[in-house]
Chains A and B, each alone.
Chain A
Amino acid sequence: MSKLTGTKILMEMLKEEGVDTIFGYPGGAVIDIYDELQNTEINHYLVRHEQGAVHAADGYARASGKTGVCLVTSGPGATNTVTGIASAYMDSIPMVIFTGQVPTRLIGNDAFQEVDIVGITRPCTKHNYLVKDVKNLARTIKEAFHIARSGRPGPVLVDLPKDMINASTNYSPPGAVQLRSYNPTYEPNLKQLKKLVGLIRTAKKPVLFTGGGVVLSKAHEELTAFARKTQIPVTSTLMGLGGFPGNDPLWLGMLGMHGTYRANMAVTECDLLISVGERFDERLTGKTDEFASKARIVQIDIDPTSIQKNIQASVPIVGDCRISLAQLNRLIGEDESYEPAEDRKQWLEQIEQWKQTTPLAYKQEDIIKPQYVIDKLYELTEGRAIISTEVGQNQMWAAQYYHFDRPGRFITSGGLGVMGFGLPAAIGAQVGAPGELVVDIAGDGSIQMNIQEMATAMQYNLPVKVVILNNCFLGMVRQWQELFYEKRYACTKFQHTPDFVKLAEAYGAKGLRAREPDAVERVLSEGLAYPGPVIMDFVVEQEECVYPMVPAGAPIKNMLLV
């Protein structure tokens, strides 16, 4: 056993936890940690704003499947992380955030750059810690990573007072974490699973409804095998995109407020709804009384609080999505005589008919349609890009028109809906998946919320591509104003927008612009082929709406269509 300082213990523990990448921003309270960090093999990415560090760690975690790690200073450094942490919490992203803190003797004294970040982030972290004794430091870090990664993942914050990281103590690597109060249930109840198999056997119109849980638990192969074997069509939440191949005939498209016609109709008409790793968010269910009201509902989720919260499930199953689906495949596979019911054909024909009569649609005329840009992007990248998005119309069009066939390819702030998420998340994703093509689909509003991260992309030569669907409006709010506020466009029109091409050039990146439909393909081809960061500015139809749209609180079958 050797005596080490807190900073050295932190480095040892990061190594022990397999951390090779950190996103962060230095400051007075963490200057000692940075001083030590440069003696290690860890790659540190210096962002331009702490919010960017957290979104980058989020994108990194999703693209790489590892735990994202951030390091920021006390006070404003810590408070700047809050939006990013809240987003990661809503989307269940594994992450550990280290914040500097004033020395323990000054805590509570309103010291310079002091803030109670543990108090502030209590409701938006899975758990958080203030280290008050250097002897607990190693154990605390071990627990933080364990909690962040296990069960339903989430962000964990560790607050490090300056005197704690400078103090020394005997160090030996802590053993495995045993918490008497925290034991996530991975194994589903077999009896409940058998009940579900029985329901599948008799269901005439079943639908699988999947969420981020499938992506997080890497259950995509099990899900695909299960859906194909049982011939059950699949829809998903925004977070679930990529959990099931977007080009499979059983794929219905996304559900909910901007879901496809066939997905919303199928859930409205189904007689069995199998929910896997999603939480019946109100953007998906619309009016809950009329949501899947003809169906038996089965819900599989690792988090018991997600079950019976918004929708009453008649068969609740607490367990890991991947393990549950693997067990279901085994149960179904055991029965050699199993054949999906003959009348399933009728159901799939009905769905095909909905698809034919009311597909996702837009008309490309004189002015560039935003949907057309995404269509072309999908075509040119052959669906192989990692896509991050900002929030609003750009996000919905990306979800509708880019089809994902694998998890970890669609990176979006689903639960919290953070504008300014896409660019730093793309940067993190590029770090986590070097060699992959990473594209941020943005609006002209949200890109300006974290545009400063272009400098980060340049500094580390991370060749992210930004596609701006530039309509000079805060498009989604404008859409609501058009549809529900008689076109009273209160404060949604940008009277001034920077020249994004020049802005790209000011950062040293490449800037391209398309004004006419004919130029879309050329600009995309040129931008995607460029070896460094690029901003592509597409001057699109200003008053285009995302359709279908279910007005907030209405039943999901009441869709406004093009």
Chain B
Amino acid sequence: MNEKRHLLSILVDNEPGVLSRIVGLFSGRGYNIESLCVAETMDPAVSRITMITKGYPTIIEQIKKQLNKLINVIKVFDLTGEDYVQREMVLVKVTALQQNRAEILRIIDIFRGQVVDVGQEHYTLKITGDEEKIEAILSLLKPFGIREIARTGSVALYREKK
């Protein structure tokens, strides 16, 4: 059995210290967090944490149980293996010299991204998509010289049954 990435969607009480309990659980027990995204839901008393974690099946099972054991955790969904939509946003500051500017715009157009800031020698681009798409565009932009990136981490929801 190999380590596998899991996408967890965790509903928690929207209270101070709750994120610290979750992050503390992961550091204290030696679990991995690959990405983490937290925000309020429609119910202001509830926040949704979307997390990508990695581990052997027995560890993933423990992670889910340990999360559920926290008093402030309302529900843990493991979206892995389920039908879900997942998006992440990235801002990329890429070097854009005269000779490359058109090419960069073509790439960003293909990926349906946007230019959100322009400078003499750079573009700041915004792209949303699943992880694969983000990885793909980053590798295409790399040769031009990526100065900085900021990624949000994944957010995800179940797809409704048709």
Contact = CB atoms under 8 A, between A and B. Distances in A.
B102 to A, nearest CB: 52
Interface in B60-99: 61-62, 65-66, 68-75
Contact of B61 (A119, A122, A308): A308
B72 A181 contact: yes
A278 interface: no
Interface residues of B, number: 21
Nearest to A128: B17
Contacts of B21: 122
B71 A127 contact: yes
Nearest to B57: A308
B69 A303 contact: yes
Contacts of B68: 304
B71 A147 contact: yes
B78 to A, nearest CB: 15
Contact of A126 (B28, B58, B71): B71
Given A118-B17, A181-B71, A181-B74, A308 B28 contact: no
A337 interface: no
Interface in B23-63: 24-25, 28, 58, 61-62
A305 B62 contact: yes
Interface in A400-433: none
Given A304-B68, A305-B69, A119 B62 contact: no
Contact of A182 (B24, B25, B71): B71
A308 B58 contact: yes
Interface string A300-341: 000111001100100000000000000000000000000000
B2 interface: no
Q: Is the interface of B mostly helix, strand, loop or mixed?
A: helix
Contacts of A181: 12-13, 70-75
Interface residues of A, number: 18
A206 to B, nearest CB: 26
Contacts of A147: 71
A496 interface: no
A122 B24 contact: yes
Contact of B62 (A123, A180, A182, A309): A309
A179 B72 CA distance: 9
Contacts of B120: none
Contacts, number: 38
Contacts of B24: 122-123
Contacts of B70: 181
B156 to A, nearest CB: 21
Nearest to A118: B17
A91 to B, nearest CB: 17
Contacts of A119: 17, 20
A182 B75 CA distance: 10
Nearest to B62: A309
A486 B94 CA distance: 64
Interface string A513-532: 00000000000000000000
Nearest to A305: B65
A246 B68 CA distance: 37
Contacts of B61: 308
A427 B72 CA distance: 35
B105 to A, nearest CB: 48
Nearest to B25: A123
Nearest to A179: B71
A303 B66 CA distance: 10
Contacts of A308: 58, 61-62
Interface string A177-196: 00111100000000000000
Interface of A: 118-119, 122-123, 126-127, 130, 147, 179-182, 303-305, 308-309, 312
26 contacts: A119-B17, A119-B20, A122-B17, A122-B20, A122-B21, A123-B24, A123-B25, A123-B28, A130-B17, A147-B71, A179-B71, A180-B74, A181-B13, A181-B70, A181-B72, A181-B73, A181-B74, A182-B71, A304-B65, A304-B68, A305-B62, A305-B65, A305-B66, A308-B58, A308-B62, A312-B58
Question: Which 8 pairs of residues, A with B, have the shortest CB-CB distance?
Answer: A127-B71, A181-B74, A305-B65, A304-B65, A123-B28, A182-B71, A305-B66, A122-B24
Interface of B: 12-13, 17, 20-21, 24-25, 28, 58, 61-62, 65-66, 68-75
